[in-house]
Amino acid sequence: MEMFLLLAVAAVLISFFAFREGRNTIPDENKEYNTKYSALHRLSQDQDKNEMQLSQEAEEIKNNPSEEDHAEPFIAPEVKMVYMSHGSKKYHKKGCKFIREEENPISVSDAEAMGLTPCKVCKPNLEN
């Protein structure tokens, strides 16, 4: 009985000192899980910090608009639209008699990029 008690006390003391000295007694599969969990936890904390910083910056911009915020808005140049038919190699003005089926609007630059050429009857490439 004394031997059993002595062995039990020795096992407790060994476990206590091994834990106290930082020796990891976690099985290998738990080590990998803990490592991944710690990395994900750090990423989550970093993301929370970044989101908080972005919301603070957005609030600051909202409350303190700069001169750039009052500049005239950019207005894109007007794009000339023409029309094409499915399967056709030509582009047309709206209402051209050679448009088959539906009229599909497209910009002149996109039509030419697709290899389409202007209709010789309605001449969509000429200014009105």
**In this predicted model, which residue has the larger pLDDT, 4 or 69?**
4
How confident is the prediction for the chain on average, in pLDDT?
75
With b for 16 or more beta-carbon neighbours within 10 A and e for fewer, the 91-100 pattern comes to bbbeebeebe
Question: What distances in angstroms separate CA 40 from CA 16, 47, 48, 81, 110, one per listed residue?
Answer: 30, 10, 12, 51, 46
- pLDDT, tens digit (0-9, with 9 covering 90-100), for 32-88: 777 777 777 787 787 878 788 888 888 887 777 665 556 666 666 777 888 888 778
User: Per-domain residue ranges for the chain?
Assistant: 81-118
Strand order, beta sheet including 81-84: 104-107, 81-84, 90-92, 117-118
Lowest mean pLDDT among 2-16, 28-42, 90-104: 2-16
Tell me the C-alpha distance between 128 and 119, whole Å: 15
Q: How far is CA 69 from the centre of its chain?
A: 25
The model's pTM is 0.40
Residue 92 contacts by C-beta under 8 Å, 6 or more apart in sequence?
82, 83, 84, 85, 98, 99, 103, 118, 119, 122, 124
Q: CA of 118: how far to CAs of 26, 40, 100, in Å? A: 76, 59, 15
